[in-house]
Amino acid sequence: MGKRKRFIFMALVLVLIGGTPATSYARELAKAELRVTLTIPMMQRLTVLEPAEVVFAYPQDGQALTFTDIGTIRVQSNADWALTVGAIADASLDVEVRPAGDSFARWQSVHGQGGVYVGPQGSRDISWDIKVVGNRLVASNASKEGRVQLLFTLGQL
Model pLDDT, residue 60? 65
Residue 21: pLDDT over 60: no
Our CA dihedral for 114, 55, 65, 152, rounded to 10 degrees, sits at -20
- Domains identified in the chain and CATH numbers: 44-156 (2.60.120)
Residue 127: pLDDT over 60: yes
Gyration radius of the chain's alpha carbons? 36
Q: What is the pLDDT of residues 86-115, one digit of tens each?
A: 998 887 788 999 999 888 889 999 887 778
From residue 116, give the alpha-carbon distance in Å to each of 20, 63, 64, 131.
73, 25, 22, 16
Mean pLDDT of 22-34: 76
**pLDDT tier, 149 (very low <50, low <70, confident <90, very high otherwise):** very high
Q: What is the pLDDT of residues 34-86, one digit of tens each?
A: 899 988 898 999 999 999 999 988 766 667 889 999 999 999 999 999 999 99
CB neighbourhood size of 88 (10 A) = 12
Closest-CA residue to 106 (of 94, 119, 114, 96): 96
Mean pLDDT of 117-143: 79
From residue 108, give the alpha-carbon distance in Å to each of 91, 112, 132.
17, 11, 12
